[in-house]
Amino acid sequence: MGVLTNYNLIAVPLFIFMGIMLEKSGLAESLLEIMAMLFGKLNGGLAISVVIVGALLAASTGIVGATVVTMGFISLPTMLKRGYQPELATGVIAASGTLGQIIPPSVVLVLLGSIMNINIGDLFAGALLPGLLLVVAYLIYIVVYTTARPEVAPKIPEKEYREFLNDGFWKKIIGAFVLPMTLILAVLG
């Protein structure tokens, strides 16, 4: 009867639902496009965007599967079309997908806290810094690797970058970031 009366476990299907809604609404895709343009002047800019959007999706959904599948469908074709090395593209997607295990709110942390009778808020607080450090480590690796080997992750063409800047830049950024950031701040308090 304990599992049936544990209100913390209500979060599990709601996180999964949130991941599905982010994917179906196209918000994750628009967020990735905007981030790709923001970092497009750098070698590996799209890979950097995948890690950052993967971290935001992980924080929004809390589950690995939703993040990996969503990022795979959205970013892999784009990365390959732009000339990214397949090994780098798939590695970045897989690595960013694992962030859902550690970046709060994580379904794994909710289940762990419920099973072990540990305060879930304390688990979230304890996992936030390691999760962010992991994101930073991924970003450093991408920057160093693509600086040493720029041919594996080319920059976005200048013409495409200029078109993006002239086509409602701030409106797109605000529209894509408001919902995920509101959700993350609401959950983390």
Domain boundaries, the chain: 24-178
Q: Which ranges of the chain would DSSP assign to H, the alpha helix? A: 11-25, 27-38, 45-61, 64-81, 86-97, 107-116, 120-148, 158-165, 169-188
Q: Tell me: the pLDDT tens digits for 136-170?
A: 999 999 999 999 999 999 988 888 878 877 777 77
Helix (H, G, I), strand (E, B) or coil at 103: coil
- pLDDT above 90: residue 88: yes
Q: How does residue 2 score in pLDDT terms, banded at 50, 70 and 90?
A: low
Structure pTM? 0.79
Please give the C-alpha separations between residue 21 and each of 16, 100, 177, in angstroms, as whole numbers.
9, 16, 15
Q: What is the pLDDT of residue 1?
A: 45
Between residues 2 and 21, the one the model is more confident about = 21
